[in-house]
Structure 1
């Protein structure tokens, strides 16, 4: 591909580095920075970062595949459409649900194929959905995060599991509850399985993130407690002294810390984050009313964030800004202010509600994005939207609003904070007949093209790693390499007449 770019300077300029909540020096390699504008030399470039993500839910065939039983080519066409929609909406990250029920939407020797692909648990779809999505999305410089559910084994108790499914290999740890089946979070073998799955994914696939949502212990059904007495009794018999609720939270915390430490050791470039329920506890902050996740599903996202176990928290703020007991503005302000070990907040927005009621207009979605951006200096640097459906349908023109107003300028997501010291080399350029040929390191994710205009470097485009020949037109330009940790190199400067 040889794109010709309009020489128009957008607002995503190097001046934006002043608002970045990380030191610019951490985003440039320790090599000599030479004169700005000198061809073949290097210059520090940056732009305002923002994660613009969207969830792709496979459970119950919410988004993908749209129904069970589609053949491989039809499913691939749907994935192509998902990538097209994300690109047309100017999003830069896809959160793809690859383990909705202790199963797999990718080739796995650990867990069976998901029933949501073929209609039969364990049924081979004839291709690798995660592998295919990675190929297509990375070719558009769009990140793919593998979204896993840690403990949910079946959404419905009546569904038939594949014979190698964990509910059948460890039936004593599979509990019927609230209409579904859940593996016991207090059982070490359940925790070990999830860590094994995470390791398998990051070693075999170039995913950009590992992501959990809000399902830890199941939401209470209001009639009976979760049936984990056997594992709790075993814990007490071994000398454990925590009360039951504290023990449950401890089980989740141990799992989160294990996943975090494992990723830091074997794949530090992979971003790890969690999207918890949007209210921490009732009355926090003052005036907020709702479910208590701390004592209801035994999740403690403030601990995960303050300990630095996660790169980000994406609280599901699924209420309109006008709904005072759960107001979006109040909640994003509170979440962004929490002790965070320099971690990010990427608030979840319930895009699926757009057009469903007067409170859920496109103006409301815009207001929520703008409220998130007001907390930028506190590392609120983006949003994740649930889910892609309204963008595919362009409900109330929401895709047009994203493309033409809210996300006009290109942007990378923020760098992975725990891996910022590792900086990729700048690209090597060969210029002939006003065409630029790029050579980048093997582990590059993308490149960024900047134009020098009015004394500043302005980002024109984020280019996929497959785009190796450019004809940007007359001007002074710089191209930087982007590592898989989203850290940019210095820009290699060149001029075209």
Structure 2
């Protein structure tokens, strides 16, 4: 299924980011697992917590297994990204997480809370390093819970992911381990204690120095469920996100796709008309933002323009066609990398660029018609 998805998505200029919950082994702890499932390979590190089965983040065998699985997927499939959900240590249910054995085996200088955070940090770092070595064109991002800590920013109330999930996304983006964060801002803009506007501004300040991106997570499944979840609410959320563009907030990620596919309450139509009528490119990988790419090779016979990739080793993601309108360049269309020619209408000024797998775009080659 993944190979099929990648093939057909790429034919439509859609990126595929493989989504992982690194430690949650089963949603239903009573369901059967087939070998070589990690919970069968390391049953001593598999713990029922609530209704789920969780692997112990403090076990080195678990850490290594997760990294190996992700590298295997990235190696065997032409994915464009790796994405972690918000689950690290489980959301607390009042019972202690049963990791006494690995905590005792650690026997080091850190407090238990710091040790747990270090377990998660080391996994994030290990995945980042493994992808850099095997698939440096793959974007690695994480969608953490939408509140880092209560009071950050002032007036925000809610779960403390740093203290309760042992999740430290601020550290990950500061270390350059992730290309982006997608904080799950799953509250309406009118909800003062979890207000969307102040939260998106706070998260965006983390990337204001250019060390990554913010792609905000939006709870689109709620559309139409209550008056506070109107279509206009999602328009407002996109506008609030785009207001932080100078700080690196470059888009929105909608959970989930069903309302878009069904156009529930007209939300897909509205978002398309107001924000997404034109094609768009993903930004370059943060670590490649200063890289360059040679322009494509064009052969213009007056009717069609033959396309050839830039010289050099970079793998091509797309050709991009721009049209000059009133002295400004407007993105007209994005072509798949296997395109060999394009017809450009007369009486206009066009430009064609190339984009590599890292998202780095070349200068455009101008074609006057």
Is the structural similarity TM-score above 0.5?
yes
2:324, 2:330 within 8 Å by CA — same for their partners in 1?
Answer: yes
Name the CA distance, whole Å, in 1 between partners of 2:65 and 2:316: 31
Q: 1:176 aligns with which of 41, 48, 61?
A: 48
Match of 1:163 in 2: 35
CA-atom RMSD in angstroms: 1.5
Q: 2:146 aligns with which of 272, 278, 287?
A: 278
311-320 or 259-268, which deviates more? 259-268
Q: 1:398 aligns with which of 263, 267, 290?
A: 267
Name the CA distance, whole Å, in 1 between partners of 2:79 and 2:63: 21
Residue by residue over 1:46-65, the C-alpha shift from the partner in whole angstroms, topping out at 9 and shown as x without a partner, is: xxxxxxxxxxxxxxxxxxxx
For residue 402 of structure 1, report the CA deviation from its aligned partner: 2.1
SS of 1:494's equivalent in the other structure is strand
For residue 494 of structure 1, report the CA deviation from its aligned partner: 1.8
1:269, 1:419 within 8 Å by CA — same for their partners in 2?
Answer: no
Name the CA distance, whole Å, in 2 between partners of 1:467 and 1:370: 35
Match of 1:87 in 2: none
Q: Which structure 2 residues correspond to residues 23-422 of structure 1 after superposition, within 5 A?
A: 129-222=1-94, 224-236=95-107, 240-338=108-206, 342=210, 343-422=212-291
Tell me the TM-score normalized by structure 2: 0.95
Name the CA distance, whole Å, in 2 between partners of 1:302 and 1:189: 26
Name the CA distance, whole Å, in 2 between partners of 1:261 and 1:158: 34
For residue 295 of structure 1, report the CA deviation from its aligned partner: 1.2
Name the CA distance, whole Å, in 2 between partners of 1:458 and 1:372: 22
SS of 1:255's equivalent in the other structure is helix
For residue 468 of structure 1, report the CA deviation from its aligned partner: 2.9
Name the CA distance, whole Å, in 1 between partners of 2:130 and 2:37: 24
For residue 143 of structure 1, report the CA deviation from its aligned partner: 1.0
2:187, 2:219 within 8 Å by CA — same for their partners in 1?
Answer: yes
Match of 2:303 in 1: 434
Higher RCO structure, 1 or 2 (CA under 8 Å, sep 6+): 1
Q: 1:473 aligns with which of 345, 349, 369?
A: 345
For residue 286 of structure 1, report the CA deviation from its aligned partner: 1.2
Name the CA distance, whole Å, in 2 between partners of 1:473 and 1:241: 69
SS of 1:211's equivalent in the other structure is strand
Q: Which runs of 5+ in 1 are unaligned?
A: 1-128
Name the CA distance, whole Å, in 2 between partners of 1:468 and 1:261: 36
SS of 1:359's equivalent in the other structure is helix
